Amino acid sequence: MMAKRKFSKEFKLAAIRRLQSGQTAAEVARALEVHPSDLYRWRRELDVHGERAFQGVGKTRAEEKPGSRTGT
């Protein structure tokens, strides 16, 4: 089984910029070798969280962790 791939904030933002420039999700996904649903999820996360999106690779945002100092 392959390990889960992790993408940097810069990679995700570049992918979203390609979507915003008019390329379809299928085109961007093929070019970047990701699934189109990843692109939609990244775009939604950016819309919801703005600059705070993609703060960690594979980590939950501090404000979403139960019992975290910043989230309570």
- At 47, which CATH number? 1.10.10
Residue-level pLDDT at 67:
53
- What is the token pair recorded at 8? 């940097």
* Within-domain flag for 70: no
Interatomic CA distance for residues 49 and 56, integer angstroms: 13
Decide: pTM greater than 0.75.
no
Domain count, the chain: 1
Residues in the chain predicted with pLDDT less than 50, given as ranges, are 59-61, 63-64, 68, 70-72
Interatomic CA distance for residues 35 and 27, integer angstroms: 11
Burial (CB count within 10 angstroms: exposed 0-12, middle 13-18, buried 19+), residue 69: exposed
* Within-domain flag for 26: yes
* Within-domain flag for 42: yes
Residue-level pLDDT at 66:
55
User: Comparing C-alpha atoms, which of 14, 3, 5 is closest to residue 39?
Assistant: 14
* Within-domain flag for 52: yes
- Domain with 23 in it: 9-64
Residue-level pLDDT at 71:
47
